[in-house]
Amino acid sequence: MRIDLNCDMGESFGRYTLGDDAAMLDVVTSANIACGLHAGDPLVMQATVALAARKGVAIGAHPGYPDLQGFGRRAMALTPAEIEATVLYQIGALAGFTRAAGAPLVHVKPHGALYNVAARDQAVAEALVRAVAAFDPTLIVVTLPNSALLYAARAAGLRVAREGFADRAYREDGSLVPRSEPGAVIHDLALTTARAVRMVTQGEVEAITGKIVPLHVDTLCIHGDTPDAVAIAAALRTALEDKGVVITPLE
Amino acid sequence: MRIDLNCDMGESFGRYTLGDDAAMLDVVTSANIACGLHAGDPLVMQATVALAARKGVAIGAHPGYPDLQGFGRRAMALTPAEIEATVLYQIGALAGFTRAAGAPLVHVKPHGALYNVAARDQAVAEALVRAVAAFDPTLIVVTLPNSALLYAARAAGLRVAREGFADRAYREDGSLVPRSEPGAVIHDLALTTARAVRMVTQGEVEAITGKIVPLHVDTLCIHGDTPDAVAIAAALRTALEDKGVVITPLE
Amino acid sequence: MRIDLNCDMGESFGRYTLGDDAAMLDVVTSANIACGLHAGDPLVMQATVALAARKGVAIGAHPGYPDLQGFGRRAMALTPAEIEATVLYQIGALAGFTRAAGAPLVHVKPHGALYNVAARDQAVAEALVRAVAAFDPTLIVVTLPNSALLYAARAAGLRVAREGFADRAYREDGSLVPRSEPGAVIHDLALTTARAVRMVTQGEVEAITGKIVPLHVDTLCIHGDTPDAVAIAAALRTALEDKGVVITPLE
Amino acid sequence: MRIDLNCDMGESFGRYTLGDDAAMLDVVTSANIACGLHAGDPLVMQATVALAARKGVAIGAHPGYPDLQGFGRRAMALTPAEIEATVLYQIGALAGFTRAAGAPLVHVKPHGALYNVAARDQAVAEALVRAVAAFDPTLIVVTLPNSALLYAARAAGLRVAREGFADRAYREDGSLVPRSEPGAVIHDLALTTARAVRMVTQGEVEAITGKIVPLHVDTLCIHGDTPDAVAIAAALRTALEDKGVVITPLE
């Protein structure tokens, strides 16, 4: 039994600090680093890449919509061609820093609204996949199980990692309950931890209806931008290790 | 006798078009492609890289200050650390597109105010050089002869290309007469062409004082953003070829 | 018989020039001036306002989505609160220049994707109206006949101006044929002119089906960003005046 | 004896929060609200203006260089015409929100690098003054005593407020010791408070040399972006009130 723990990182910008990346890098095994269009700036990217490399955490690009004000959380009507070029731009920019740091770029996980749109919109998913494949076909695409992006990535011969969310409610079909609906987010740490253990060790989750449904994931999303984020992440990691789960990067 | 002809390219942005890159790529041998911070956007970068690659023109990164509104022509008080990270970001972003196009990235030429500041400010020059060297120590740095950037690049073991301006007046010490001074820009095409030929074939230029001074250059800057730019560039190229000069990329 | 002719203006940005505003201001009676978020910058806004004021052309704010790269033509998922604040910001910014120029701010016409979304989405329309009403309830809102924005503006007690497009095909219900459909844009100048005259003098338009349908408009949209824009606009104005139509600003 | 306490506000941006504006508005009498180019966004501006208005705190525009990444702290080589238009843009944008809130706009205080450059560069100072005067000649300009901006504002007939910094070291000529020099910032709260009281009640300050020099100020700058900012501000206010100083807005 093994799982990767991934966390969005490098989301500070100029005068603005977000998250405690240094502490979180002691807990997680994969860092999704913002690429400057929805968050992050060149200094932040350089420092975050260097820190992740030093701590042996796998580095991934975390491209988003070009919308700093909206933090990449507002869907934008980009054409597939714009998606492809915008994602390729961001992967390249981050890869400049990994190359300078002598660290490999391992994965790509889209951010925020782009993550959501790519999970359901085939044209966007395929555009994103074209960008990844054109840059480096050995990169791993991190996305939801059963998503448009998962299928597009597999169809293009890319490696994929299925992502789970221990603190989010699921429907019976394995999709996430939207945040706009009641009960979508689970705030109880013990419950979150128990769900993480169940996902990883048994490949299943209790849907919001109460029914137990299968859910196979390769990586768990660890949130980094809440006040207790590091403590929660550490508790989750410990709980998984106590059950014999090996916490290890994607491969 | 040989010379490279370089031109800034990919300076369109979204709805805004600047220059006739397709036509200019038939004339020049090196393209300095904007990287999205002072001009250019992901679609423009992708298209310009693809076009340059198809036409066999050498591709270089053309990083500038992060100031789209000022087109990178307004000096900004960035720290050396900010310069380094900002330039590395831009080289990486452009390199994503060259990698996807299967074309090599050959050189780096800073843009506008960054070009000027790096030519005279040692700390900025060294920061810029750190970015280039960290990304790829085989890249060629294009800059003014006798500039701070030239010496910093050489000190770091990088290859350099000395750039000449056939349509700009020079002082006796080989430096450019600032644009703010009278006579700084030469608008006569015949004179510009004669100066280009003299620079390339004899390694000298007539300074604004009338004195002939030595000036050794590896590449000539071709301006691309004036209405007659392509015709002027073609005339200049023809004049050089008529004198037996081989127009060929940097190496 | 009277009609206003309006044109988007001030869409240049930094090094980038778009349209021939000076010439167009001799033809139209209302200028919709971009406010810096999708196009325009402070210098451009200041100059365009000054020019319009000098020529006696009515000045309106032309707010758009905060997306310079997409020229405000890509819909963005802003909340109503974000729409309201973003529009108010833009009206205020432009009003700073009209105030400095001693010219009144007369109208507000949303730009591009915001124009389209506000025409069909009631929450967006109401948010936009809140911004206008909060700034100045005497401002005129320019929008499509029968649009969500028209009804929201009227419900808030604002004045409205219904806009017609002589070079666009209409459906029988008076709505525009989307640009993505064949025949949506009319490129023949004589036909465009005839349609303009018919709209203004008879209050009707020939729908794409061939049926004549009523269409009452207070202002015609004149496009300013094509090569022949000024000549087309002048021809249209002359044709209208030849039929006895008075070309006059909204009131 | 009376003094105004002013604090920079509304410097949050999108996902990023900076400072505790609500708490600080209970302590200070003037709020300098960022205008979206170096910090702040439309939602933040709207909320901050509304909050300041509700608490009866005087509202001022806080324009800066268009450099969000650098938080307006990096000098930029803008021409005077660019300064004028950029400042006018920002005043107008903020004034849209004060107008909507039914609150007066009282003062203008430039931010960061623009504050420093305008204090010493006459052309920049005069450009800034042109923007203020063009928008509203009754606005108060907040700046350093003896600065270029102070003289330019007075020459244009504008009202001015001289600003003091209780936690900054002064030279004997009344100018600030640059932050880059040792001892420039005073971290001891008791000392800061004593200096504030001395400035306000006696019109003098102990220079870094130990000599007591005259310093007449109308407003004290309260920093809002440090962890203890509100507590420090409250202590300072209490200390001043204990000495009989009336804390009251500029007029």
Residue B65 sits in a domain of what CATH number? 3.20.20.370
Q: Looking at residue D246, what is its pLDDT?
A: 98
- Say yes or no: D88 contacts chain C, CB-CB below 8 A: yes
Model ipTM value: 0.96
Q: By three-state DSSP, how is residue A218 classified?
A: coil
Contact A75 C74 (CB under 8 A): no
Q: What share of chain C is helix, strand, coil (3-state, %, to 5)?
A: 40, 20, 40
**Inter-residue contact D16 to A225 (CB < 8 Å):** no
Please compute Rg for chain D using Cα positions.
17
Q: Which domain holds residue C92?
A: 2-247
- Say yes or no: C137 contacts chain D, CB-CB below 8 A: no
Q: Looking at residue B226, what is its pLDDT?
A: 84
**Inter-residue contact D218 to D245 (CB < 8 Å):** no
Contact B88 A100 (CB under 8 A): yes
Residue B55, CA distances (Å) to A171, B30, B108, C42, D62 in order = 53, 11, 19, 39, 50
Identify the residue whose tokens are 């623009």.
D114
Spatial separation of the C-alpha atoms in residues A200 and A202, rounded to whole Å: 6
**Inter-residue contact A191 to A206 (CB < 8 Å):** no
- Say yes or no: C187 contacts chain B, CB-CB below 8 A: no
Q: Looking at residue B197, what is its pLDDT?
A: 97
By C-alpha distance, which of A177, A65, A157 is closest to A118? A65
Spatial separation of the C-alpha atoms in residues C203 and B30, rounded to whole Å: 58
Question: pLDDT band at residue B179, thresholds of 50, 70 and 90?
Answer: confident
Q: Say what the alpha-carbon torsion angle D160, D166, D169, D174 is, to the nearest 10 degrees.
A: 30
Spatial separation of the C-alpha atoms in residues B205 and B220, rounded to whole Å: 13
Option in B41, B69, B70 nearest C69 (CB) = B41
Q: Does residue C179 carry a pLDDT above 90?
A: no
Nearest-by-CA chain D residue for B76: D76
Residues of A in contact with D223 (CB under 8 A): none
Q: Looking at residue C226, what is its pLDDT?
A: 84
Number of H helices, E strands in chain A: 8, 10
C244: left (phi over 0), alpha (psi -120 to 50) or beta: left
Best of C65, C67, C82 to mutate (most A CBs within 10 Å, chain A): C67
Residues of D in contact with A111 (CB under 8 A): none
Total number of domains constituting chain B: 1
Q: Does residue D98 carry a pLDDT above 90?
A: yes
Contact B95 A97 (CB under 8 A): no
Q: Looking at residue B225, what is its pLDDT?
A: 83
Question: pLDDT band at residue C79, thresholds of 50, 70 and 90?
Answer: very high
Q: Looking at residue D171, what is its pLDDT?
A: 96
By C-alpha distance, which of A237, A193, A225 is closest to A73? A225
Q: Looking at residue C225, what is its pLDDT?
A: 83
Spatial separation of the C-alpha atoms in residues B47 and B34, rounded to whole Å: 12
- The residues facing D5 across adjacent strands are D220
Number of residues that this document lists for chain B:
251
Copy the structure tokens of residue D108.
Answer: 């203008």
**Percent of chain C having pLDDT more than 90?**
96
Nearest-by-CA chain A residue for B136: A100
Alpha helices (runs of H) in B102-185, residue ranges in sequence order:
112-120, 122-135, 148-155
Q: Looking at residue D227, what is its pLDDT?
A: 83
Question: pLDDT band at residue D205, thresholds of 50, 70 and 90?
Answer: very high
Q: Which residues contact C195 (CB under 8 A, 6 or more apart)?
A: C166, C167, C186, C205, C206
Copy the structure tokens of residue B152.
Answer: 């910093």
Write phi, then psi, for D246 (nearest 5 degrees): -90, 125
Size of interface A-D (CB pairs under 8 A): 32
Q: Does residue A2 carry a pLDDT above 90?
A: yes
Distance from CA of D249 to the nearest CA of C (A): 24
Q: Looking at residue C163, what is its pLDDT?
A: 98
Q: Which residues contact A182 (CB under 8 A, 6 or more apart)?
A: none
Question: pLDDT band at residue D202, thresholds of 50, 70 and 90?
Answer: very high
Q: Which residues contact B208 (CB under 8 A, 6 or more apart)?
A: B169, B170, B171, B177, B183
Spatial separation of the C-alpha atoms in residues A108 and B167, rounded to whole Å: 46
- Say yes or no: D91 contacts chain C, CB-CB below 8 A: yes
Q: Looking at residue B37, what is its pLDDT?
A: 98
**Inter-residue contact D57 to B59 (CB < 8 Å):** no
Each residue's pLDDT tens digit, C110-167: 999 999 999 999 999 999 999 999 999 999 999 999 999 999 999 999 999 999 999 9
Q: Does residue B227 carry a pLDDT above 90?
A: no
Q: Does residue A225 carry a pLDDT above 90?
A: no
Residue B244 burial (10 A CB sphere; 0-12, 13-18, 19+): exposed
Residues of B in contact with C15 (CB under 8 A): 11, 18, 39, 71, 73
Spatial separation of the C-alpha atoms in residues D198 and A240, rounded to whole Å: 61
- Say yes or no: D43 contacts chain C, CB-CB below 8 A: yes
What does the longest C-alpha to C-alpha distance in chain A come to?
A: 49
Q: Does residue B36 carry a pLDDT above 90?
A: yes
Contact B70 C14 (CB under 8 A): yes
Residues of D in contact with C99 (CB under 8 A): 92, 134-136
- Say yes or no: D66 contacts chain B, CB-CB below 8 A: yes
Q: Angle D185-D187-D192 (CA atoms, 0-180°, nearest 5)?
A: 90
C-alpha of D241 from chain center: 21
Residue A84 burial (10 A CB sphere; 0-12, 13-18, 19+): buried
**Inter-residue contact B115 to B91 (CB < 8 Å):** no
Spatial separation of the C-alpha atoms in residues D109 and D163, rounded to whole Å: 10
Distance from CA of A102 to the nearest CA of C (A): 33
Tell me which residues of chain A, numbers 103 to 132, contact chain D at a CB-CB cutoff of 8 Å. none
Q: By three-state DSSP, how is residue D214 classified?
A: strand
Identify the residue whose tokens are 């029968």.
C146
Each residue's pLDDT tens digit, B92-140: 999 999 999 999 999 999 999 999 999 999 999 999 999 999 999 999 9
Amino acid identity, position C150: L
Nearest-by-CA chain A residue for D70: A14
Report the pLDDT averaged over residues B77-90.
98
Question: pLDDT band at residue A40, thresholds of 50, 70 and 90?
Answer: very high
Report the run of H or E that residue D219 belongs to, with start and end. strand D219-222
Contact C70 B14 (CB under 8 A): yes
Each residue's pLDDT tens digit, B98-111: 999 999 999 999 99
Spatial separation of the C-alpha atoms in residues D10 and A55, rounded to whole Å: 37
Residue C147 burial (10 A CB sphere; 0-12, 13-18, 19+): buried
Q: What is the mean pLDDT of chain B?
A: 97
C-alpha of D223 from chain center: 9
Nearest-by-CA chain D residue for B69: D66
Q: Does residue C188 carry a pLDDT above 90?
A: yes
Report the pLDDT averaged over residues D139-163.
98
Q: Which residues contact B80 (CB under 8 A, 6 or more apart)?
A: B123, B124, B126, B127
- Say yes or no: D139 contacts chain C, CB-CB below 8 A: no
Count other Cβ atoms within 10 Å, centred on residue D10. Answer: 30
DSSP character for D167? T
Residue D68 burial (10 A CB sphere; 0-12, 13-18, 19+): buried
Amino acid identity, position B121: D
Residue A157 burial (10 A CB sphere; 0-12, 13-18, 19+): exposed
Copy the structure tokens of residue C45.
Answer: 């806004």
Report the pLDDT averaged over residues A179-199.
94
**Inter-residue contact C249 to C4 (CB < 8 Å):** yes
Each residue's pLDDT tens digit, A98-124: 999 999 999 999 999 999 999 999 999
By C-alpha distance, which of D165, D152, D224 is closest to D200? D165
Q: Say what the alpha-carbon torsion angle B195, B201, B202, B205 is, to the nearest 10 degrees.
A: 20
Amino acid identity, position C74: R
Question: pLDDT band at residue A66, thresholds of 50, 70 and 90?
Answer: very high
Report the run of H or E that residue C161 belongs to, with start and end. strand C159-164
Q: Does residue A227 carry a pLDDT above 90?
A: no
**Inter-residue contact C58 to C32 (CB < 8 Å):** no
Q: Does residue C227 carry a pLDDT above 90?
A: no
Q: Looking at residue A179, what is its pLDDT?
A: 86
- The residues facing B33 across adjacent strands are B9, B61
- Say yes or no: B96 contacts chain D, CB-CB below 8 A: no
C207: left (phi over 0), alpha (psi -120 to 50) or beta: beta
Each residue's pLDDT tens digit, D71-83: 999 999 999 999 9
Q: Angle B36-B42-B46 (CA atoms, 0-180°, nearest 5)?
A: 115
